Amino acid sequence: MTQISFADAEYAGKRKKTRREVFLEEMELVVPWKALVKLIEPHYPMAGRGRRPYPLESILRVHLMQNWFALSDPAMEESLYEIASLRTFSRLSLAEPIPDETTILNFRHLLEENYLAEDILKLVNAHLAKKGLLLKRGSIVDATIIAAPSSTKNSSGERDPEMHQAKKGNQWHFGMKAHIAVDADSGLVHTVTTTAANESDVNQIADLLHGKEKQVWADSGYRGAQKRVQREDLQWHIAARPSDIARMPEGKAKTRVQKQEHDKASVRAKVEHPFRVIKRQFGLAKVRFKGLAKNTAHVVTLFALSNLWMARHQLIKMMGVVRPKAA
């Protein structure tokens, strides 16, 4: 029998359920834990002469919480000591050793070095497709800029060389760009690519499409995409430039075009939801690391988790479980 600490025993007797606890209970239900553990297990260190490694599932749970709550490695370690609900979710106890920041860091590096973030996204999407939530009949593509620190007051005296500046409207931004394609029916992300912020959106269109869709929606930044994807069976819905519509004479023709653009925009709105989740729900205000490779692994993981977050209600309903609610 596992011994629990006095702090964990006191927490077990409390009555009010917080929003964090509700969130973790929902994620407990919808994350495909066994499949993720099976995916990572071949790369995870086995017990040897050194210190015994922590259980893989516990470290995985810590890693996912770090992404959900936008915590650094030291902050994640301290949170495990301070917050009982995080210990309970990760199946840890104060009566036993808590993973330190180096252990948390090493696990993230393990995922990065073995390119497992992309595999996690594929696994999550396969899980959702099996449940009938990812239909792949159409795709919506878009991109967003994720800011990076532009200051040169650091040890190297220069900005991250893999990040670039780009002008959007009348504002200059420095950082990277995340390009995504989402399922037109569900709004779930099926493909993610990343580039420096100055990369043109349309250059990534061929890498974003999975090849099974029959229709593609995109904003005016993807004009000319038809020439980059040689498929005759594909129907394109690319937005017109607002300036082109503004120059049209008033009349039925302009009204008809405005109605068509409104219909396109109503479908394209779904692609904004994953951006909202990773930036507002999961707190990705700026890039967390230096270099494109590390930030790509982080962003891809966040989009995989955003799919589970957005589909949580349908998944829980399919299980026949009552959805957790705050007290």
pLDDT digits (tens, 9 = 90+) for 177-216: 999 999 999 999 999 999 999 999 999 999 999 989 999 9
Query: Are 206 and 104 in the same domain?
Result: no
Query: Are 108 and 143 in the same domain?
Result: no
Domain range spanning residue 232?
A: 136-289
Query: Are 91 and 157 in the same domain?
Result: no
pTM of the model: 0.91
Domain annotation covers residue 265? yes
Domain annotation covers residue 214? yes
- Check if the beta carbon of residue 205 is closer than 8 Å to that of residue 184: no
**Bigger pLDDT: 233 or 35?**
35
Domain annotation covers residue 323? no
Distance between first and last Cα of the chain: 30
Specify the range with the lowest mean pLDDT, choosing from 12-16, 232-236, 294-298, 307-311: 12-16
Residue 1 — pLDDT band, cuts 50, 70, 90?
Answer: very low
| 117 residue type, one letter | A
Tens digits of per-residue pLDDT, 230-287? 888 899 999 888 888 888 888 888 889 888 889 989 999 999 999 999 999 999 999 9
Residue 327 — pLDDT band, cuts 50, 70, 90?
Answer: low
Query: Are 107 and 147 in the same domain?
Result: no
Which of these, 37, 27, 119, lies nearest to 68 by C-alpha position?
27
Query: Are 200 and 144 in the same domain?
Result: yes
Which of these, 227, 139, 148, lies nearest to 194 by C-alpha position?
148
**What's the CA dihedral at 132, 137, 140, 146 to 10 degrees?**
40
Query: Are 260 and 176 in the same domain?
Result: yes
Domain annotation covers residue 184? yes
- The fraction of the chain above a pLDDT of 90, given in percent, is 67
User: Backbone dihedral region of 64: left (phi > 0), alpha (psi from -120 to 50 degrees) or beta?
Assistant: alpha
User: Kind of pairing, strands 171-183 and 189-196?
Assistant: antiparallel
